[in-house]
């Protein structure tokens, strides 16, 4: 008897699906793509109507042979790669490579890796969707034409190992343009005047009110003289309440997560970058071993730009809300959120697969970061089906000697969805949430209050803020650049190419990033044009919908692009001067400049190659001295690029450690204590001598026992 062969991409997901389907199925993984454009050449036959040339990926040879052998023995083959364009392309490549003629080949997709989701997928087999495959091919060919034909020009005109990309170059431009706005920003002075008032009623409560204007008209205080005039007029005076408005306002919950909003909220609330968020989310989707249940996926498919949810999922959420909070926390019917017009809406929003698996129920089965992200997804989904938050807002207008002051207070009257999920109006400024602790005294019209203190403050308008990774994701989504599955890769690419550096979680363009951006703007204006790039994304969606032919999109693009390539060959080479340091060469006295090698940054003589003096850059370990000689500790890198801690007195003192010393000594053996990390990535203190095994507390001892002996040093 033959086998029922199911092929997925991920070994972890294959393991979970295999346990669900049971012994009647053979479930294996392709471990990603098995066929692609060649790395060593363009791989697109421009003179043959842009026909792509696909080759088997060399490192996948053993897997290809294994899959071919299994397919020959199979009664039925199910191609179950991810339910998106890339997954459809993988299924298409698998069908080509396996070349199965004696058994039917079906395409199946799983929106969630649960018993319900897997069985639903297997019960609805279909053929490969060639519209999705063509959309993938168009994207792949476009990216290859741009990357492989512009990058060599950058090598010749700027320096080696640079690259351009159809989307990465636009993202770099956004960051460079923002930096230019900041550099060209001219601050303008303005002043505010705040009065601290005290009621005359028993209790003498105080509250603050801000200057609004004169005669009911708003006025901006542009200098200190104008502010001083207001201060002089109201000091040691009384204010009269001229108007009190009380209103109840409602604030509705946000939709459940899309890929983009998950990355943004995870950054704001958990401090995860987009890459880390997607890595952990993938683990939750593919399946974890839940105690008492076994392997199961905890969240639905994580690459989506839809906010739609299934009816049964909404019903489960409403039942959960009713049981936990009561009927008053339920709206009359299921909430339906509107998906953006540009969204593909092929999959549901990201939500828990099992409402019964609350974060606390599965906490013991998850590592720390998995639990944090799962809780975020769970809470956001439940809250999305809850009642509005209701808050009372009081707006008070006061007059004093012809000057108008105003103040506003808010108090939450009904928590609504915020009982499950606290919104962050700073992170998502599209909502007007009430401020905490903003309650005002009971004030009525014609009340008189005393002006106890007046505070004038000088301000200057601020330039636009630099992008954080989360803000860049939001901008890319709003501008229609890239797709949910690509945001994390875009950011990691421009950082890896050193076009952008991450300084205190803010994205700052490097000098090389600015140079490449300027060259791209002059020579390839359409490639870095936001509107043009967004238009290409729309064309890819039209291909996926079967509305246009993919090669026509390539033809329309390549005509103007090929002319730009020819013209770019004649531009002058850019000379990049290395950045000078504040140190001088110990041999010839010329300034030392910053240079880079594969081991990292170092200082070299600006007179190179006449003078070859070099000096390592040593970053100090703040507040830490060598436990053996008392000199400053510094970070160093090994020949393999691994960071470790060493004494700055080397080679006189040969102290080194993979872990950061705490500055304290072990009370048990007298050796130095260090910071280590458990498998859950929690920091704890332990003796540097493994044979001693001392940790300061029982809880830390458990962490130490759980940690691997080769734990990485804390990242700086």
Q: Which residues are known catalytic residues?
A: 301
Contact call for residues 193 and 230 (beta carbons, < 8 A): yes
The set of residues, in sequence order, having a beta carbon less than 8 Å from that of 668 and lying 6+ positions away, is 687, 692, 694
> Contact, 93 vs 54, CB < 8 A?
yes
State how far the Cα of 571 lies from the Cα of 573, in Å rounded to an integer.
7
Torsion of CA 343, 346, 348, 353, to 10 degrees: -150
- Residues found in the chain: 716
Residue 508 main-chain phi, psi, to 5 deg: -120, 130
Q: How far apart are CA 374 and CA 354, in angstroms?
A: 12
Whole-angstrom distance, CA of residue 227 vs CA of residue 192? 7
| CA 648 – CA 481 distance, rounded (Å) | 47
Residue 693, both tokens: 């095994």
Tokens 């044979």: give the residue: 691
Both tokens of 96, joined, read 């080509």
Q: Tell me if 624 sits within 8 A of 648, measured CB to CB.
A: no
Nearest to 593 by CA among 574, 613, 575, 573: 613
255 vs 234: CA distance, rounded Å? 47
The contacts of residue 578 (CB under 8 Å, 6+ apart) are: 593, 594, 595, 604, 606
Question: Roughly what angle, to the nearest 10 degrees, separates helices 311-324 and 368-384?
Answer: 90
Of the chain, the end-to-end C-alpha distance in Å amounts to: 57
Rounded to the nearest 10°, the torsion over CA 658, 663, 665, 667 is: -110
| DSSP H/E element including 89 | helix 85-98
Name the CA dihedral angle for 457, 460, 464, 469, rounded to a multiple of 10 degrees. -40
Cα 536 from Cα 544, distance rounded (Å): 13
- Using an 8 Å Cβ cutoff, are 355 and 416 in contact? no
Q: How far is Cα 441 from Cα 409, in angstroms, rounded to an integer?
A: 9
CA distance 378 to 355: 8
Owner of token pair 């809300």: 321
Q: Which of 213, 227, 201 is nearest to 400 (CA)?
A: 213
């Amino acid at each position: 008897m033959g086998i029922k062969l199911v092929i997925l991409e991920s070994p972890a997901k294959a393991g979970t699906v295999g346990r669900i389907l049971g012994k009647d199925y053979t479930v294996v993984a392709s471990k990603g793509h098995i066929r692609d454009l060649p790395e060593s050449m363009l791989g697109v036959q421009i003179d043959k109507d842009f026909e792509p040339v696909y080759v088997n990926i060399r490192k996948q040879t053993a897997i290809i042979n294994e899959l071919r052998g299994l397919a020959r023995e199979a009664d039925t083959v199910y191609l179950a790669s991810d339910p998106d364009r890339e997954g459809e392309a993988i299924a298409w490549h698998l069908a080509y490579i396996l070349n199965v003629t004696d058994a039917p080949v079906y395409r199946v997709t799983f929106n969630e890796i649960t018993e319900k989701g897997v069985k639903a997928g297997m019960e609805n087999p279909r053929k490969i969707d060639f519209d999705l495959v063509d959309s993938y091919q168009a994207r792949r060919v476009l990216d290859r034409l741009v990357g492989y034909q512009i990058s060599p020009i950058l090598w010749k005109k700027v320096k080696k190992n640079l690259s351009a990309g159809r989307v990465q170059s636009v993202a770099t431009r956004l960051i460079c343009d923002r930096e230019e706005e900041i550099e060209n920003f001219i601050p303008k002075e303005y002043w505010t005047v705040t009065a601290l008032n005290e009621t005359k009623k028993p209790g003498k409560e105080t509250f603050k009110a801000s200057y609004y204007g004169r005669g009911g008209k708003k006025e901006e205080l542009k200098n200190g003289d104008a502010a001083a005039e207001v201060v002089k007029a109201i000091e040691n005076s009384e204010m009269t309440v001229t108007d009190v408005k009380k209103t109840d306002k409602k604030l509705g919950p946000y939709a459940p997560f899309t890929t983009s909003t998950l990355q943004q909220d995870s950054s704001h609330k958990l401090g995860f970058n987009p890459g880390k968020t997607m890595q952990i989310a993938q683990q939750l989707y593919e399946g974890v071993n839940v105690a008492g249940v076994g392997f199961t996926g905890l969240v639905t498919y994580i690459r989506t730009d839809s906010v739609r949810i299934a009816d049964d999922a909404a019903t489960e959420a409403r039942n959960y809300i009713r049981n936990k909070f009561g009927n008053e926390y339920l709206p009359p019917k299921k909430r339906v959120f509107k998906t953006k017009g540009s969204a593909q809406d092929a999959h549901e929003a990201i939500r828990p697969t099992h409402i019964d698996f609350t974060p606390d129920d599965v906490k013991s089965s998850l590592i720390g970061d998995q639990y944090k992200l799962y809780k975020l997804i769970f809470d956001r989904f439940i809250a999305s089906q809850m009642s509005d938050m209701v808050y009372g807002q009081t707006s008070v207008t006061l007059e004093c000697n012809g000057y108008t002051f105003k103040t506003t207070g808010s108090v939450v009257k009904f928590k609504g969805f915020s009982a499950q999920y606290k919104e962050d109006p700073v992170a998502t400024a599209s909502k007007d949430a009430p401020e905490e602790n903003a309650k005002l005294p009971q004030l009525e019209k014609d009340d008189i209050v005393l002006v106890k203190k007046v505070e004038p403050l000088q301000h200057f308008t601020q330039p636009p803020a630099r992008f954080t990774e989360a803000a860049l994701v939001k901008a890319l989504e709003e501008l229609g650049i890239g797709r949910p599955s690509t945001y994390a890769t875009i950011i990691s690419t421009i950082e890896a190419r050193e076009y952008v550096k991450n300084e205190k979680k803010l994205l700052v363009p490097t000098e090389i990033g600015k140079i490449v951006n300027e060259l791209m703007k002059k020579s390839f204006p359409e490639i870095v044009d936001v509107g043009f790039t967004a238009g290409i994304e729309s064309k890819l969606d039209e291909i996926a919908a079967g509305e246009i032919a993919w090669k026509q999109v390539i033809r329309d693009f390549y005509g103007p692009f090929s002319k730009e390539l020819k013209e770019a060959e004649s531009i002058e080479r850019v000379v990049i001067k290395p950045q000078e340091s504040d140190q001088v060469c110990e041999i010839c006295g010329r300034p030392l400049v910053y240079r880079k090698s594969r081991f990292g940054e170092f200082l070299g003589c600006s007179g190179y190659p006449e003078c070859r003096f070099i000096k390592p850059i040593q970053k100090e370990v703040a507040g830490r001295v060598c436990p053996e000689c008392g000199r400053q500790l510094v970070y160093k890198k090994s020949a393999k690029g691994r960071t470790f801690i060493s004494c700055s007195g080397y080679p006189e003192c040969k102290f080194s450690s993979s872990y950061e010393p705490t500055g304290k000594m072990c009370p048990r053996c007298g050796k130095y204590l260090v910071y280590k990390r458990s498998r859950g990535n929690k920091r704890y203190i332990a003796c540097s001598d493994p044979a001693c095994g001392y940790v300061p507390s029982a809880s830390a001892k458990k962490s130490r026992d759980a940690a691997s002996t080769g734990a990485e040093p804390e990242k700086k």
